[in-house]
Amino acid sequence: MYLKSEINFTQKTLLKIIKLLLILILLILVSSPGYSRNTHRNDQTIFVYGGGLNKKFIRYIASLTEKDKPKICFIPTASADNSWGIIRWYELCHDLNVEPYVLRVWISSYTTKKSFEEILLDMDAVVVGGGNTLNMLAIWKAQGIDKALKKAYKKGIILSGGSAGSLCWFAEGTTDSRPGKLTEIKCLNFLPYSHCPHYHSEKSRRPLYHKKILSGEFISGYAIDDKAGILFKNGKIAKAVSLNPENNAYFVTVKQGKISEIKLESEIIK
């Protein structure tokens, strides 16, 4: 009888100790910097802006990762891995609290040992540069980068970019990737809308975008000035941002047979 009581007492004591240890481990995890930073991983996030690279948008993208020193990968495929663009990327990042990387596609298997997917899935954010959207998408498809980016998106890695680097994430839009004039292009469709970058800085962009939406050739979508941006969470708009009041983002659709252009209220970021 005494032995049985002693065993019961020991078991109860062990259970209490185990519970206390579990609580202690949970408290350590919750209070650690990594715990709070990873809570965004359930979200699928894309940040797009209408023009080229700039430091303020890179800083904003870094903040979206919620990490102290995020790994951010620049993809210059649309500019054919242009060396000046890559140098510019490192110049913009040099005094930011980020770890900058570059994903080059003009490579050799002798010198590049990691796959494109391995590189991308190890990042906290991806920034796609401007250039020829059509060529970029063709190369991505040939190299499986489009599929790797989809995995990154589902994993919660921040996707972003401007110009070709914004257009690529949408269903469709207009591009200067072919000779002669702006033409239509089908893209990755991570965001189920049409898109127009350089909305007011290039005169032919806005009227053609309106024409395509009004005719039904394009679905409704978002147009963005060079120094404005839109943050999407899980495929839906979360907020619009801008570097100044002169640059804006717009939702463009058809209402009662006419074009409706709605200017989005923007948060000015510094």
The active-site residue out of 198, 210, 242, 266 is 198
pLDDT digits (tens, 9 = 90+) for 124-172: 999 999 999 999 999 999 999 999 999 999 999 999 999 999 999 999 9
Residue 141 CA from chain centroid, whole number = 18
Give me the pLDDT at residue 140, please.
98
The active-site residue out of 79, 160, 163, 242 is 163
Give me the pLDDT at residue 13, please.
67
Buried/exposed code over 210-246 (b: 16+ C-beta within 10 A; e: otherwise):
bebbeeeebeebbbbbbbbbbbbeeeeeeebbbbeee
Torsion angle defined by CA atoms of residues 239, 251, 55 and 61, in that order, rounded to the nearest 10 degrees: 40
Tokens 């395509």 -> residue: 212
> Smallest Cα–Cα separation from 190: which of 164, 222, 167, 174?
167
Give me the pLDDT at residue 26, please.
62
Give me the pLDDT at residue 270, please.
84
Residues of the chain with pLDDT under 50: 2-5, 7, 30-40
Residue 198 designated active-site: yes
